[in-house]
Amino acid sequence: MKPTLFVLAAGMGSRYGGLKQLDGLGPHGETIMDYSIYDAIRSGFGKVVFVIRHDFEADFRSKILSKYENHIPTEVVFQSINDLPEGYTCPEGRTKPWGTNHALLMGRNVIKEPFAIINADDFYGQDSFRVMAEQLSKATGENEYCMVGFRIGNTMSKSGTVARGICETKDGYLTGVVERTAIGYKGEEICFTDENGVEQTLAPETPVSMNLWGFTPDYFKYSEDYFKRFLDANKDNLKAEFYVPLLINELVTTGKAKVKVLDTTSKWFGVTYAADRPAVVEKFAELHASGEYPEKMF
């Protein structure tokens, strides 16, 4: 059975206004998401599910989905802050979405096969989709998940510091994800300051999470159960978000699930800063010129 690609795209409108996030960065106006869908198709994914917000469904279907018709089957599901378990209501004053793992939960009724999740506005590169598709196509049981561990040196921005989930591993499996902020270059070295105020350096090949995770459908049940506990603990916190690494850490540290860390040579990039845009445009031009992508993808 071919795996499904689940694209987290519900943050589009809120952060960028309408569909401006779908900025044409490729030589022919391609969006970052176009490259992800193209790479997923050629890596062996069989379907793409998008989670979006209801308020830009018409725009999304006409401007985005129409492009992928005849290339790969697609489905759309919706994230709403009012989509909560029975017996729970959205706290008064809450406007912020509930986070990536809540967005992921929206796929529970349409995804019945192994699946990978990605952010809509990140470029992951073909090799990362290839290693993920290979791993998911072998998935047979439950509680055996995976993630692509990007080498941190392949994810940095020259325009400023970044936050990354640093992966701690043993024998190729994840033992924990530690969020580190303000990681940046100091000369040629990649550095951050730890909670004790001590500067630490990171080897360029240190694996980090860029939100490219692979799951089997049993993960939805864990998500439903944990989300209720999350809501109970955060009912008065209007900004708390239910992120994927929160649940992953819980499952890994309690021994309920294992997460295989897949290495990739892919270089991740995104438009973290406005100053990143020209370099990203240049990278896409180079990828087309080298033959990595054809002149017309869709």
Q: What is the pLDDT of residues 118-151, one digit of tens each?
A: 999 899 999 999 999 999 999 988 999 999 999 9
Residue 219 domain flag:
yes
Residue 129 domain flag:
yes
- Mean pLDDT confidence for 12-36: 74
- The residue segments making up the domain with residue 70 are 4-148+209-241+265-289
Specify the number of domains making up the chain.
1
Q: What CATH code is carried by the domain that includes residue 282?
A: 3.90.550.10
Dihedral angle, C-alpha 264, 151, 177, 99, nearest 10 °: -70
The CB density around residue 143, as the number of other CB atoms within 10 Å, is 14
pLDDT of the residue at 121? 86
Residue 179 domain flag:
no
pLDDT of the residue at 40? 98
pLDDT of the residue at 10? 84
pLDDT of the residue at 170? 95
Residue 115 domain flag:
yes
Q: For residues 24 and 255, give the distance between their C-alpha atoms in angstroms, rounded to a whole number.
A: 43
Q: What is the pLDDT of residues 41-72, one digit of tens each?
A: 999 999 999 999 888 888 889 888 999 989 99
Residue 199 domain flag:
no
Joined together, the tokens standing for residue 257 give: 């699930």
Residue 163 domain flag:
no
Phi-psi region of 243 (alpha: psi -120 to 50; beta: other; left: phi over 0): beta
**Model pTM?**
0.92
Residue 280 domain flag:
yes
* HSE, side-chain direction, 13 A CA sphere, residue 159: 12
Residue 170 domain flag:
no
